[in-house]
Amino acid sequence: MEKIALVISSLSSGGGERVVATLSQEFAKKYDVTIILFDSANIDYEYGGKILDINCPDKPSFLGKTYNLLKRAYKLKGAFAKHKFDHIFGFMESANYPSILASRNTIASLHIDYNFLNPTERCLVKYIYPLAKAVAPVSDDIANTLVKDVSLDNVVRIYNPVPFKELETLANEPFQHPRKFLIAVGRLTYQKHFDLMIDAFAESKAIKNCDLIILGEGELRGDLERQIKTLKLEESVHLPGRLKNPFKYMKNAEFMLLSSRAEGFPMVLIEGLTLGCPAVATDCPTGPREIIKGGVNGFLINTDDKPALIESIDTLFHNDEMRRSLSKNSQASVNHLAVENICKEWINLSQS
């Protein structure tokens, strides 16, 4: 049986982490799968195969990150030599860099717009990614940027997968909320621009008849809580935190909001559409424009455009016929992302 290594920092809550968990379960049906983690303290997802923790948790300082890069590469090289994996797939930048240094057979998945990386990370991409067997960005926009701006010639786009049956099962768990609501999901960070979303919701007409629920955790929680209090929205805007099952919220929401400044290939949009939840999303780099088809499964608006966000919220909330039509189209728009299809793409790229 061929051996697959999936390398990622952790399996704690996050889009890239969910992708690895999803792929591991599908791969485990045919392959010997090992998920190599740097920190296994918090595992939030069901996974396939086995875990190998090389015990190199994140360090916040620049010197700590530099030391970690070298230590992780050293430990990964030892693990690769010992287990003799047939396929090595890296996910997220923190895992890609040391994995490529440890083995030129690594295929690295890039989950964020290159231009949104900090200068150090862009430098690492420029000098380390050419050494990989292949680089598999999660959107066409990211792929085009890597070819044009970084001059990489080993780029093949592979979209993120969707475990349709699993999502539907989780979405059908019991759920109650006293009012209609809109849903947003993501880390409470600058990138996600939730402050814009809250401001737009506060000025919408929809606020009279529905709530806004933002699922996630992050360093900007305090700022967002103060914003909610200042706007006197404590009864309308809710921050329940990071939940293991956001899907029952998605299925029961009127629609989803995404206000990000940058993305890679936002899985929350895919997951929402899978469950019949259309979306209003910013046309940020990168990903949303490859997912949301205006007037088919949602609306795309310009990044940082609060008036457009307000208008889209009110249009979609108050037009039941339009919302039902978009919801009906939602799942069909993501059928091509079935996990079995995406796994085949990974294997085909590794064997090419």
CB-based burial of residue 77 (10 Å sphere; 0-12 exposed, 13-18 middle, 19+ buried)?
Answer: middle
The model's confidence at residue 309, banded by pLDDT at 50, 70 and 90, is very high
User: Quick check: is 345 in a domain?
Assistant: no
Q: What's the whole-number mean pLDDT along residues 180-201?
A: 97
User: Quick check: is 181 in a domain?
Assistant: yes
User: Quick check: is 343 in a domain?
Assistant: no
Which pLDDT does position 133 carry in this prediction?
97
What's the predicted TM-score (pTM) here?
0.80
Same domain, yes or no: 40 and 152: yes
CA nearest neighbour of 55 among 71, 39, 43: 39
User: Quick check: is 109 in a domain?
Assistant: yes
Length of the chain in terms of residues written: 352
Domain with residue 40: its CATH number is 3.40.50.2000
Same domain, yes or no: 49 and 125: yes
pLDDT digits (tens, 9 = 90+) for 63-81: 988 999 999 999 999 999 9
User: Quick check: is 349 in a domain?
Assistant: no
pLDDT digits (tens, 9 = 90+) for 122-157: 999 999 999 999 999 999 999 999 999 999 999 999
Same domain, yes or no: 47 and 104: yes
pLDDT digits (tens, 9 = 90+) for 238-278: 999 999 899 999 999 999 999 999 898 898 999 999 999 99
List Cα–Cα distances, 322 to 53, 95, 178, in angstroms. 48, 43, 24
Q: How many domains does the chain have?
A: 2
Same domain, yes or no: 140 and 197: no
Same domain, yes or no: 150 and 226: no
CA nearest neighbour of 281 among 338, 265, 219, 19: 265
Same domain, yes or no: 149 and 173: no
Residue 315, pLDDT > 90, answer yes
Cα torsion through 27, 71, 145, 188, rounded to 10: 80
Same domain, yes or no: 129 and 168: no
User: Quick check: is 122 in a domain?
Assistant: yes
Which pLDDT does position 223 carry in this prediction?
98
Same domain, yes or no: 206 and 270: yes
Locate the DSSP E strands across the chain. Answer: 3-8, 32-37, 50-53, 87-91, 106-109, 134-135, 180-185, 210-215, 237-241, 256-258, 279-282, 298-301
Same domain, yes or no: 71 and 117: yes
Q: Which domain holds residue 261?
A: 164-336
Domain's final residue, options 158, 177, 210: 158
Same domain, yes or no: 193 and 46: no
DSSP string, 7-19: EES--SSSHHHHH
CA nearest neighbour of 267 among 141, 112, 131: 112
Same domain, yes or no: 145 and 211: no
Q: What is the DSSP letter of 161?
A: P
What sign does the CA torsion over 194, 222, 185, 327 have?
A: negative
Q: Radius of gyration of the chain from Cα atoms?
A: 20
Same domain, yes or no: 178 and 294: yes
